[in-house]
Chains A and B, each alone.
Chain A
Amino acid sequence: MILLNEQVQTLVGELEQEPSNLFAFEQSLIDTVAEFSDFILKHRPSAEIVALAFWCRRSNIKNLAIHYGEQLRLRQSRVFHITPANVDTVFLYTVLLSFLVGNINIVRLSSRRGAISDELVGLIQCFVNTDKGALLGSRCLFIAYPASQFQVTATLSKWCDKRVIWGGDDAILQINQVAPVANELAFPDRFSISVLRLSSEQDAKLAAKQFFTDYQSFNQQACSSPKAIYWLCTKPAIQDCFWGALAKCADDHPQFELNHQLNRHINTQMLLMADLSLKPIRSISHPSYLMLEFEQLNSLSILNAHEGNGLILSANIDSLAQLPEHEKLQTVGYFGISKDMVKDIHALRKTPLGSALQFNHIWDGVDLVKRLN
């Protein structure tokens, strides 16, 4: 079907020569995705994969189908997905949505992908070999090839009607220089923060638990992972309570390894050198996080250079108006802030603390279902 070279490795799937035209959210598509959810949960996967399975459970997919109802067009598209290396499961959300609306998909996985990505590919492989999973394998092809193989990217970009890049600014720019396409859904660099208003020790414990969920997934490298905490009118003693409670959550679920721990220190130095106006006042180093407190953290531009790994920047504010604004600010996770006040936060996405990483089919303000259909 498509001329590819020996550098391209097929991971899972075999596209049908002439795939049948399926309606968006046709029962067979919904069933396949719902079965996939059940299938992966049975295999007790990593937490990130559990989150994916939870998202694509039958009831959620049915709700999507009902929500979009008759709005969708019938024509199926060919979609080429280019996925990120650092957030191992994110690509599958858009692939499954694309599958659900009836599209044929080729998915390029990064050669630098992580262990969770491999685990997920293994699960997909097992699933498509079952009767219930065959449809997924016939409409989604997963491949890997080195990024330097520009002609492969170009070939696949010609093949597709739509391209999805979970890439970051540099990747998007590079790919478009080599192979521009008319119809592209691209997710550029974004970063996220949390704003916390705590008034008691109990608050601190609850918030620590929820924040833990948000920051530790994907080694804090997802665009929705909070990189900084802004404390709204929260006493230092209660903040200390929070850091203690966070350490405890982390001790119960150790996540970070030596390379992450070392990289936090290195990354700290890079940030301080990138913006000489930064004035750190203290730090707390724990196996699961490095907290770096600043007198002020007015500029979010340094967050571009934040590499995750459990480095948490911290600063105090007296009002939400002091939260920095930035075009790349995606998610603000909040705690202890009333609904009325949340309106004063300027970001693409605002979520209660603990749900920053929950995927939604409206992403960065884009209705993914409509765009993929």
Chain B
Amino acid sequence: MHLSDEELLELPVYDLCQNEKWELLTPLLDELHHFHKVHCEKYSATQQLGGTPLAVRAFKNQLLSSIDADKIHRILKSSGTTGTQSQIVLDSDTARLQSKVLSKIMQHWLGPKRLPLLILDSRKALDVHSGMSARAAGIQGMSFFGRDYHFALDENMDLDLAVIMSFADKYAGKPVFMYGFTFIIWQRIVQQLRQLGKQVAFSDAFLLHGGGWKKISEQAVDKKTFKQELSACFGNVTVHDYYGMVEQTGTIYVECEHGMLHAPVWSDINVVDPVTLRPLPAHTVGVVQLQSVIARSYPGHNLLTEDLAIIHGIDDCVCGRKGKYFTIQGRVAQAEVRGCSDTFK
């Protein structure tokens, strides 16, 4: 049996058990594997000894495309600290699927209505870099799920207390959405609010943050401290981390109320052994492999990342969401530094 894209998008985000999910995803992933083998010569070269997940690093410095040049709708670029960028070729179908999937995931967490959005960053982040920085891309992507945007930081990355206060007053007692990068939230928002001794009491805020923990854990800040400090700053706020990458835009992994990242129905995670690349049992640290059925125009349906994770269980997270749930355990040592932790120096 084969799902159409419309049927695919109708699937509940976190309600399918792993077995049901795999029955649906396996034929789609097989089909994508064959499609990309035929249409992307370089991908095909990597698959000569059997199906192996393609290294995320392969998208750096070269264009891996499975579509004709005239079908290219957009090329997504990641920001990397080393100066080498990933380049992801999208046709209009893939771009549409990506935004629909992201929007399904976000609606699950935020509800069907757009909420007032406080961006925990500076407006300047949107125009600092030529091209699309990860920070700008993140903000633009998430702004789609909010309304009446406010920026919490001014041009100098200093706290704009007046803006934050007027936002809080305007939406007192109402649900709001906040979005930003982990390190910037910590260094520019939390630290400055603490210095000023200021608190802003929201009654129902959903805070989503991403960009990795590398830089912040260098300052010996753990998740618990991060969340506690944010509660101290913002009152009743639920704090959710997310994991994802430009190579699989759309299918992000959002952290639940119990600190677990969840795979949405359109993608899946394996934690694999670095020698055999075979899946490891739960509760074991290994390398993250990500599969996604919406990578159509480029061979990104089965990726070998340089991140480490532990899968904590399948179908039985306390939060009630089905499928695999996991936590990220950092990056493989000495691997190239990438991601967003370089965004503010």
Contacts and interface: CB of A to CB of B under 8 A. Distances in A.
A279 B46 CA distance: 10
A287 B273 CA distance: 10
B140 interface: no
B114 interface: no
Interface residue tally on B, bucketed by range: 20 to 34
Given A258-B333, A273-B45, A266 B275 contact: no
B274 A261 contact: yes
Interface residues of A, number: 22
Contact of A262 (B46, B62, B287): B287
A269 B55 contact: yes
Interface in A240-279: 257-259, 261-263, 265-266, 268-270, 272-273, 276, 278-279
Nearest to A278: B45
B304 A273 contact: no
Given A258-B333, A259-B334, A280 B48 contact: yes
B163 to A, nearest CB: 36
Given A258-B274, A258-B332, A287-B275, A270 B57 contact: yes
B160 to A, nearest CB: 33
A132 interface: no
B316 to A, nearest CB: 28
B46 to A, nearest CB: 4
A183 B45 CA distance: 45
A268 B275 CA distance: 13
Nearest to A272: B45
B65 to A, nearest CB: 13
Contacts of B334: 259
B220 interface: no
A262 B45 contact: no
B48 A273 contact: no
A118 to B, nearest CB: 14
A62 interface: no
Contacts of A280: 48-49
A262 B274 contact: yes
A265 B45 CA distance: 13
A272 B46 contact: yes
Contacts of A266: 55, 57-58, 304, 306
B276 interface: yes
B329 to A, nearest CB: 11
Contacts of B277: 265, 285
Contacts of B42: 273, 276
A174 interface: no
A77 B337 CA distance: 40
A57 interface: no
Given A259-B335, A262-B332, A279-B48, A269 B58 contact: yes
Contact of A276 (B45, B52, B335): B45
B222 interface: no
Contacts of A285: 275-277
A299 B46 CA distance: 18
A46 interface: no
Given A273-B42, A287-B275, A259 B332 contact: yes
Instruction: Tell me what chain A mostly uses at the interface: helix, strand, loop, or mixed.
Output: helix
A7 to B, nearest CB: 15
B49 A262 contact: no
Contacts of B32: none
B304 A265 contact: yes
A261 B287 CA distance: 11
Given A265-B52, A269-B58, A286-B275, A276 B304 contact: no
Given A258-B332, A262-B287, A265-B304, A272 B275 contact: no
B335 A265 contact: no
B93 interface: no
A259 B330 CA distance: 12
Contacts of A268: 46
B275 A276 contact: no
B257 interface: no
B333 A276 contact: no
Most A CB contacts (10 A, CB to CB) among B42, B49, B57, B275 go to B275
A283 interface: yes
Contacts of A42: none
B54 interface: yes
B58 A282 contact: no
Contacts of B57: 266, 270
B30 interface: no
A259 B333 contact: yes
A273 B275 contact: no
B335 to A, nearest CB: 6
Contact of B62 (A265, A273, A287): A273
B46 A269 contact: yes
Interface string B249-274: 00000000000000000000000001
Nearest to B56: A266
Contacts of B54: 269
A280 B277 CA distance: 18
A263 B55 CA distance: 9
A172 to B, nearest CB: 20
14 contacts: A257-B333, A259-B334, A259-B335, A262-B304, A262-B306, A263-B335, A265-B52, A272-B45, A273-B42, A273-B45, A273-B58, A276-B41, A280-B48, A285-B277
Given A263-B335, A273-B58, A276-B42, 14 more contacts: A258-B333, A259-B334, A262-B306, A262-B332, A265-B304, A266-B55, A266-B304, A266-B306, A269-B58, A270-B57, A270-B58, A272-B48, A285-B275, A287-B275
Interface of B: 41-42, 45-46, 48-49, 52, 54-55, 57-58, 62, 274-277, 287, 304, 306, 332-335
The list of the 4 closest CB pairs from A to B, nearest first, reads A261-B274, A266-B55, A262-B274, A269-B46
